[in-house]
Structure 1
Amino acid sequence: MLNCRDDILTYTKQLVSIESIVNTTGEGAIAHSLFGTISSLPYFLHNPGSVALEKTINDDQERYNVMAFVKGKKGNSNRTIILMGHIDTVGIDDFNQLKEHACSPDELIEALKKEKLPASAKEHLESGDWLFGRGVLDMKSGVASNLYLLKYYSEHLEELDGNILLLAECDEEDGSHGVLSSLKTLKKWKEEHGFEYIAAINSDFVSPRFEGDENRYIYKGTVGKLLPSFFITGAETHVGSAFEGLDPNFIAAELTKQINYNPELCNEAYGETTVPPVSLKQTDLKPSYTVQTALSAYVYYNFFIHSWSPKDVLDKLKEQAMIAFANALDTFEERYRTYSEMSGERFVSPPWKPRVFTYEEMEQLLIEENGDSFIAHMNEFKQALLTNAELDTRMFAARVVEEAWKWMRDKDPAIILFYSSLYSPRIEVTGKTDDELNLISALDKAVEAIQPEYPHPIVTRNFFPYISDMSFMALSDDEEGINAVSRNNPGWGTKHYVEFQDIRDINVPVINIGPYGLDAHKKLERMEMKYSLEIVPNITNLVIQNLLTDDEKSL
């Protein structure tokens, strides 16, 4: 066992002390600090080309990744293991009056002693075995563990038959500009140094899966994440003549009822099931108050996948949208009929039918009807829209759909289904390649060796259940699945673009061995120090050693 607790705790506190909230200047500050720390190590003083501070690509923020590698001298192997983790955090507004202590764990612990806390948090605080603060769990203690291992091997080159590469990336909590930019450097270093990437080990946090769960989880592969979005048009009317039009908010409400928490939209694979979709935004697009109903509404949902492709999700959600639209029209007609009987007004059967298009289907229809004039107009519109810095990728996509809809000859109510944000691909690590088999074997041996040193069960599962940068180390989707993303994202190529070929060029199996704790992204974020500072780095180290031994290489 490596005697690493004190060093990793020191690194953790140093990293946490830098307020590196995503999309702020703090991301640059922590990258420069980490780069300075690594550059000052003796190995890197003698090998300055082995550490890099790299600005992200095609990013409207100034922020940086820190990347470094150590070449072992035990043998001549070019086999290379990537240790990765993100250095940005979510915000600290949730700390309220304790905000000034959020990034100072020792101060925060003293301040929390004066607060009324839930019983479990109070017990953890008083035990002295838990560290509190923004980023201690998600995921600066994981980065600190990787930093320790980089330093260790830089001082013990004779123990390393291969190479260790550290990737500390920014912007994981938003758009993943960091990891996507890093792929270019990984490819460059692969060519320059002959690196053979055989595995990536992420160090993001893990938590109990349910109340009373004592397991500490290690994940092979990761969940995929999509943001299916719906632009919904209605038939505008004055509120005094409510049944002469169709409120798009009414359809949106029925759509959310149909999709939210729907078990039919959970994706099971290898005995593990994703959580169902849930809405992240629901709004109409009226710019201000009027006594007319809205012309359109907009709603999007988080959607996790294990084995479904982005195309599968579009097919399933188009079906769900048709059901929701039909239900909304049935309810509308039923209530209109009842109102007519009550008021004595004549009932007129509503003229609308359920209509659902994917963005690709609508765009193709408009190109067929309008040709180059439509294409030119939309290109100009997108370029003009890019000047509005307040529009994120989600709202940018909605505005593009809204503009395209104006070209539709048939303006009857409809739902347009599309993707409006980054696709974080699913990754399966099941043993289908030699690298996957070797990684699974190395992990199993490491857990078996370390388990006697720790009282709680260390359990492996197939899919990391949270959004993470692991997604960009490999692709399990085929070309059809990826095309469903690019062809159905209205901002693709302007506001949003991912070079999926870069991911394919790296294509390395990835697992997650990360710190354990509770309440990530919350005021009481905390990590258990025994597991996070001792067990995690030692399991990771054994995986490294197992992967680079002759036995593992011969599998």
Structure 2
Amino acid sequence: MNNLQWNTPQQLRSLLCEVVSWDSRTHTEGERQFPLKLKQKLLENDYFLKHPDYLSLHEADAGRSLVTALYKHPNATDTIVLISHFDTVQTEEYGDLEHLAFHPEQLTKELFNRSKDLKQEARVDLESGNYLFGRGTMDMKMGLVLHMSMIEKAIAQNWPINLILVTVPDEEVNSSGMRAAVKVLVSLRNQFSISYKLFLNGEPSFTQKPGDENYYIYSGTIGKIMPAALFYGKETHVGEPLAGITANYIASFLTQSMEWNSVFCESDRGESTPLPVSLQQKDLKLQYSTQTPYRAVALYNVFLMKRTAQDIMNLFEQVALEAAKKCNEAYKTICAREQIQPIGEVRVMRYQELLSYAEKKLGKNQVEKILNEVLTNDEWDEREKSLRAADHLLIRCNELAPAIILLFAPPYYPAVNSSDDPLIEETVQLVTDSASKEFGMQVNQIHYFNGLCDLSYVNYQDESDGWTTFEQNTPTWGAVYNIPFQEMSELQTPVLNIGPFGKDAHQSTERVSIESAFVQTPMLIERVIKSLFASKVAK
């Protein structure tokens, strides 16, 4: 035990502060450099010098890499995959303390001088001395640190099981890191002839409401999908408003129908998805003029539990058809009142229908050229490219207008749940009993992690082949955005999330519980890992 460097509470605290100090905000140079620093840190263990092929960097995207570190017991095939992400959100909200955001010890000390500026709950936690503040302390570099500790201990004590540490970039935006990691995990499984028994994520235990001090573990994660729409009307001068129809008018009917619509709400095991809301709505005019806006777009956020992309598109289409019907009726009433001939009825089309129509009209080569211009525009992100792709096609097929084009925009996080898996049921009971016995602490199980999580990309189950609907209606698919559905479906292994208790992720008061991070959670994770090989050792 003396040769362990990441074992005691103080050692873990020092390691956390070092890892947090490696600034790795999403889409920064720090995020690109982080894997190199982590690899050097792991190479301090002679095991990886002796087995260099066990420690690797793998390309994700945009110059970013994910890291895998394998502990391989010579006689074991059973393998636990330890999953984390190392990117963090930005830090502007720290104000004049931003330079300390990645230095937990200094930041926590400085906050004492400004405690009166903190909200009450954060001030109480600060003054208790039980929390360490800083960007990434909670979300989620402590999870990575705990996994590093487990790898080190497995090596030192020759645990008769295999562990793979997987830590990825870009969880906070598009999860490109985890989507790339899926193929890596399939490759590692085949290369080393191992068998995955558990995907163990290290996201922190999030509060369910302000003041919540309960500790949670998660046997699944909620899903998220983003239905989107392009609205195309008919332009006119504001002096002749009824010579056209504004896209904003059309959009208002669908957005009102989507916002808080309970038809998209799912419930399972006493838990429910939040209601859908609009995340963005705008017209596509580039500057002010007295021409009416005839093209507009909207993004809608929908959470998932059991439904697939196909299910959501079918529901979205039903809602859109009803919204278009209401729009047409209201528009015709206005035209009759003003004694104006309507310009037409608003139709509803899926993107795949628009694409097929455009290819027949323009030819596949021309459509490919149009889409390539959009998808290679570096000024637009994945969502904007999705909307603009539909827009550029419909501009050239405007005889279809007025219309609502339905599509998907990235990201897509499938829901995953392992609550009924016997291994998970046993493991949850083990964690509950251990926490109660060792710390007098109550552990609460949540079936769906209430924040987005990289576990969405393993253990994918969709017997209806519903992912094809996503592929066919996502304009960026295959060029800018991909999800390895086939490989995900090969990773049929239960999931569990056990991480440290913390508060205020993505806020300037982000903090992690010292007792939970450095004492309680390490013991619980070690107990879980050992339970998976204890019975075999006993035999």
Sort the TM-score into its range (normalised by shorter chain).
over 0.9
CA distance in 1, matches of 2:401, 2:32: 49
Inter-CA distance 553–196: structure 2 relative to 1 (3 Å threshold): farther
CA distance in 2, matches of 1:105, 1:362: 52
- Structure 2 regions of 5+ residues with no counterpart? 1-5
Please list, as runs of the form range in 1=range in 2, the aligned pairs for 1:216-235 lying within 5 A after superposition: 216-235=215-234
Inter-CA distance 532–260: structure 2 relative to 1 (3 Å threshold): farther
Pick aligned residue for 1:534 from 519, 522, 525? 519
CA distance in 2, matches of 1:190, 1:22: 29
| TM-score where L is the length of structure 1 | 0.90
CA distance in 1, matches of 2:524, 2:196: 19
1:145 corresponding residue in structure 2: 146
1:34 corresponding residue in structure 2: 38
Please list, as runs of the form range in 1=range in 2, the aligned pairs for 1:434-453 lying within 5 A after superposition: 436-453=421-438
CA distance in 1, matches of 2:339, 2:268: 50
- The 3-state SS of whatever aligns with 1:548 is helix
Structure 1 residue 498: Cα displacement? 2.4
Check the 8 A contact 1:216/1:516 in 2, yes or no.
Answer: yes
User: For structure 1, which segment, 271-280 or 244-253, has the greater mean C-alpha deviation from structure 2 after superposition?
Assistant: 244-253
Structure 1 residue 89: Cα displacement? 0.5
Letter in 2 for 1:138: D
Check the 8 A contact 1:25/1:62 in 2, yes or no.
Answer: no
- The 3-state SS of whatever aligns with 2:239 is helix
CA distance in 2, matches of 1:72, 1:315: 48
Check the 8 A contact 1:7/1:148 in 2, yes or no.
Answer: no
1:378 aligns to 2:367 (yes or no): yes
- Structure 1 regions of 5+ residues with no counterpart? 341-345
Structure 1 residue 351: Cα displacement? 4.7
1:359 aligns to 2:351 (yes or no): yes
CA distance in 1, matches of 2:522, 2:407: 42
CA RMSD between the two structures: 2.3
Letter in 2 for 1:15: V
CA distance in 2, matches of 1:458, 1:97: 38
Letter in 2 for 1:397: S
Structure 1 residue 189: Cα displacement? 2.1
Structure 1 residue 455: Cα displacement? 4.7
CA distance in 2, matches of 1:508, 1:551: 19
Please list, as runs of the form range in 1=range in 2, the aligned pairs for 1:363-512 lying within 5 A after superposition: 363-367=355-359, 369-370=360-361, 373-408=362-397, 410-431=399-420, 436-478=421-463, 480-512=465-497
Structure 1 residue 385: Cα displacement? 2.8
Please list, as runs of the form range in 1=range in 2, the aligned pairs for 1:125-524 lying within 5 A after superposition: 125-157=126-158, 160-332=159-331, 346-348=338-340, 350-367=342-359, 369-370=360-361, 373-408=362-397, 410-431=399-420, 436-478=421-463, 480-524=465-509
CA distance in 2, matches of 1:446, 1:123: 29
- The 3-state SS of whatever aligns with 2:221 is coil
Q: What's the CA shift string for 1:119-152, capped at 9, x where partnerless?
A: 1011011111011111111101111111111111
CA distance in 2, matches of 1:456, 1:282: 46
Check the 8 A contact 2:346/2:401 in 1, yes or no.
Answer: no
- The 3-state SS of whatever aligns with 2:466 is helix
1:343 corresponding residue in structure 2: none
User: For structure 1, which segment, 506-515 or 88-97, has the greater mean C-alpha deviation from structure 2 after superposition?
Assistant: 506-515
Check the 8 A contact 1:102/1:134 in 2, yes or no.
Answer: yes
CA distance in 2, matches of 1:290, 1:174: 34
CA distance in 1, matches of 2:346, 2:192: 58
Q: What's the CA shift string for 1:180-221, capped at 9, x where partnerless?
A: 222333223222221111111000122121234332111112
Q: What is the total number of aligned residue pairs between the two structures?
A: 532
CA distance in 1, matches of 2:113, 2:44: 40
Q: What's the CA shift string for 1:464-488, capped at 9, x where partnerless?
A: 1211211112212235311011011
User: For structure 1, which segment, 122-131 or 6-15, has the greater mean C-alpha deviation from structure 2 after superposition?
Assistant: 6-15
Letter in 1 for 2:406: L
Inter-CA distance 325–475: structure 2 relative to 1 (3 Å threshold): same
CA distance in 1, matches of 2:349, 2:140: 40
CA distance in 2, matches of 1:69, 1:303: 36
Structure 1 residue 105: Cα displacement? 1.1
Q: What's the CA shift string for 1:363-419, capped at 9, x where partnerless?
A: 23444x43xx43211111222334321121111111211122134363331111111
